[in-house]
Amino acid sequence: MNFVLHGVAVSAGITIGNAHLVSSARLEAAHYEIAEAAVPGEIFRFDAAIARARQELSAIESQMAGDAPAEFGAFINLHRMILADSSLSHAPRELIRERHMNAEWALVQQMEKLVAQFEEIEDPYLRERRQDIEQVVERVLKALQAGLRPGGGLPGGEPLPSAEGNLIVIAHDLSPADMILFKRHKFGGFVTDAGGVTSHTAIVARSLNIPALVGLHHARQMIRENDVVIVDGIQGVLVVDPDPVVLGEYRLRQSQHGLERQKLKRLKSTPSATLDGTPVELFANIELPQDLGDVQESGAQGVGLFRTEFLFMNRKALPSEDEQFEAYREVAKAMDGRPVVIRTLDLGADKAIEGGNSVEMPNPALGLRAIRYCLAEPQLFLAQLRAILRASKFGHVKILLPMLAHAHEIDQSLNMLKQAKQQLDDKRIDYDKAIAVGGMIEVPAAALALPMFMRKLDFLSIGTNDLIQYTLAIDRTDDAVAHLYDPLHPAVLHLIAHTIQAANRGGTPIAVCGEMAGDPGLTRLLLGFGLRNFSMHAQQLLAIKERVLRTNLAEAQPLAQRVLRQSDPAKTRELLAKLNS
């Protein structure tokens, strides 16, 4: 049946492909019913994945160095035993046969049953073994994802779409941690029922440069596995089962969009400046060192925001100081003297970590988040600060503190930095003694009390995502209020313009690193407010550069001031259109 759904476009572009339904937050555990005729194929797929997992364990064992710790061999053996146990290798087959569950669903269902039994065991050692079950299941799920189906088809027996990138993930919701997994898997697009435009899920999707829509409400229920879908990430439209004319039209638009992006690549080494020659710095935001390839390709002048909390996701144990140091050093070295702004942990709210501060908070966005969490966990914070300081020897590293609102938070953070430096001095470990420390302006209180921040910090960066969330009192992850997210609200524009102007007057370097910096429709407005440093995902950088190159500041400035004086939203949009014309 042919139908269209409307959502919020969070990542531009058009993609056409086959729907792949995902049931839970875990990408690995796709969840759908299969047809009776598909049962033998699904059981084959399941058995093949079990066999693959078994082979992997044997391969690990045979590659194990002679001096590997004895526990390692024991752990491999344990995993082999779990895999061979009929409760895991046979019971899911029954679920596939009798309840027509797909293999992943059957396996996860069975795992949950086993894990629940383990949780009731008194002995802590045995209780802990639930983790081994989960790890074994994970291995089998990965093997399932590797496409072990006779003929390599999709669930339901249909052939796979010709290109790997043509699978469109349709989920009720995806966490930022799930989205990070997208960086490893090739998908053509993603669509979720939940989510807002600046949720971290959306932000990561944008960094992947794949078309994405959020806030569709009922897509997960209405779309069937393998339906042909068009994701229009420009208009925020999802077309399901399109007729040939619509499909043809979209193929055309898709190739035009591709050509435009191709053309932008020519700007990579063009110096970024307005028409009158005013230089404008363009930096890249990253989540993980693996984003560096895109950063280099974009010609970014540095990394303006490294969201380090993503190093802490999708894992059971926190990364050690050494592991963090290696990640920060990799980025610092790769940027080869260009600035790298490393933001200290911004955990909490939608960016939860396993077993971390996941205690239920009545209002996570207003709770023990970001710098508040770090100051409450001094050992964790100190380890991160030491790791950053150590990496500062390998490039031009700066430290950025998130979510500041109070003077004492700045003082305490600077004190912690002093302690971290002392600890390194005691061990004669070298670091950049003059490392710069900046603060995010993302709480309205900070924007309103700016002189206090300018006095204590070396630079500032406006986090418009949170600034909008807190100014307008809308949860950035909640699709029910996504329509109230408005970067052009006069209160938001006032706070941003005032912050930029006050910082410029006081000589404190100021950047914008929230999603507004990567929206070409807002580039001239921000330039008109006086912004000269933008940080965004590498994927957006060249489109922003193109805007900068075509901006006449003498025209943009007065128009931006008029936008600021405007209180009628329709007029604001009219003026903005004029500014962008």
Site for Mg ion, rule CB under 5 A: 442, 463, 466
Q: Is 185 a catalytic residue?
A: no
Q: Does position 514 bind ligand PEP by CB under 6 A?
A: yes
Q: Does position 487 bind ligand PEP by CB under 6 A?
A: no
Nearest to 46 by CA among 125, 177, 136, 144: 144
Looking at residue 233, its amino acid is G
Q: Which of 20, 200, 257, 396 is catalytic?
A: 200
**Of the listed pieces 101-109, 286-294, 315-323, 464-472, which binds ligand PEP according to CB under 6 A?**
464-472
Pick from Mg ion, ligand PEP, none: which does 225 bind, CB < 5 to 8 A by kind?
A: none
Q: Provide the sign of the torsion angle of the four alpha carbons 499, 503, 508, 513, taken in this order.
A: positive
Q: Which of 79, 257, 396, 513 is catalytic?
A: 513
> What is the nearest approach in angstroms of ligand PEP to the Cβ of residue 294?
17
Whole-angstrom distance, CA of residue 28 vs CA of residue 104: 7
Pick from ligand PEP, Mg ion, none: which does 409 bind, CB < 5 to 8 A by kind?
A: none
CA angle 152, 171, 232 (to 5 degrees): 90
> What is the nearest approach in angstroms of ligand PEP to the Cβ of residue 146?
32
Nearer to Mg ion, 537 or 545 (CB): 537
Pick from Mg ion, ligand PEP, none: which does 450 bind, CB < 5 to 8 A by kind?
A: none
Q: Is 6 a catalytic residue?
A: no
Q: Which residues pair with 231 in a beta bridge?
A: 15, 238
Q: How many CA atoms lie within 13 A of 206 on its CB side?
A: 29
What are the angstrom distances between the C-alpha of 49 and each of 22, 54, 103, 160? 19, 9, 9, 18
**Of the listed pieces 236-244, 290-298, 377-385, 460-468, which binds ligand PEP according to CB under 6 A?**
460-468
Whole-angstrom distance, CA of residue 2 vs CA of residue 443: 45
Single residue of 413, 465, 499, 566 touching ligand PEP by CB under 6 A: 465
Return the structure tokens found at 145: 């994802």
> What is the nearest approach in angstroms of ligand PEP to the Cβ of residue 184?
21
Q: How many CA atoms lie within 13 A of 417 on its CB side?
A: 23
Nearest to 153 by CA among 161, 142, 144: 161
23 with 31: CB under 8 angstroms?
Answer: yes
Q: Does position 346 bind ligand PEP by CB under 6 A?
A: yes
Restricting to residues 184-213, which ones interact with ligand PEP according to CB under 6 A? Answer: 203
Whole-angstrom distance, CA of residue 575 vs CA of residue 562: 8
Pick from ligand PEP, Mg ion, none: which does 479 bind, CB < 5 to 8 A by kind?
A: none
Whole-angstrom distance, CA of residue 378 vs CA of residue 398: 20
Number of residues that bind ligand PEP (CB under 6 A): 11
Single residue of 442, 475, 479, 519 touching ligand PEP by CB under 6 A: 442
Pick from ligand PEP, Mg ion, none: which does 339 bind, CB < 5 to 8 A by kind?
A: none
> What is the nearest approach in angstroms of ligand PEP to the Cβ of residue 513?
5
Q: Strands across the sheet with 212-214, in order? A: 3-6, 237-240, 228-232, 14-22, 167-171, 189-192, 212-214, 8-11
3-state secondary structure of 20: strand
> What is the nearest approach in angstroms of ligand PEP to the Cβ of residue 183?
16
Angle between helices 378-391 and 321-335 (to 10 degrees): 30
Nearer to ligand PEP, 391 or 511 (CB): 511
Nearer to ligand PEP, 176 or 215 (CB): 176
**Of the listed pieces 35-43, 271-279, 321-329, 462-470, which binds ligand PEP according to CB under 6 A?**
462-470
Pick from ligand PEP, Mg ion, none: which does 398 bind, CB < 5 to 8 A by kind?
A: none
Whole-angstrom distance, CA of residue 347 vs CA of residue 312: 9
Restricting to residues 249-268, which ones interact with ligand PEP according to CB under 6 A? Answer: none
DSSP of 327-373, one letter per residue?
A: HHHHHHHHHTTSEEEEEP---BTTB--TTSS-S--SSGGGSS-HHHH
Nearer to ligand PEP, 225 or 466 (CB): 466
Q: Does position 350 bind ligand PEP by CB under 6 A?
A: no
Nearer to Mg ion, 200 or 532 (CB): 200
- Convert residues 280-319 into a mask of x (bound to ligand PEP by CB under 6 A) and - (unbound): -------------------------x-x------------
Whole-angstrom distance, CA of residue 563 vs CA of residue 575: 6
CB under 8 Å, gap of 24 or more: what pairs does 556-563 form?
A: 556/524, 556/525, 556/527, 556/528, 557/528, 558/528, 559/524, 559/528, 560/497, 560/524, 560/525, 560/527, 560/528, 560/529, 561/528, 563/493, 563/525, 563/528
- Convert residues 143-182 into a mask of x (bound to ligand PEP by CB under 6 A) and - (unbound): ----------------------------------------
349 with 365: CB under 8 angstroms?
Answer: yes
> What is the nearest approach in angstroms of ligand PEP to the Cβ of residue 155?
35
> What is the nearest approach in angstroms of ligand PEP to the Cβ of residue 197?
11
Nearer to ligand PEP, 29 or 517 (CB): 517
Catalytic machinery residues: 200, 513
Q: Which residues contact ligand PEP (rule: CB under 6 A)?
A: 203, 305, 307, 346, 442, 463-466, 513-514
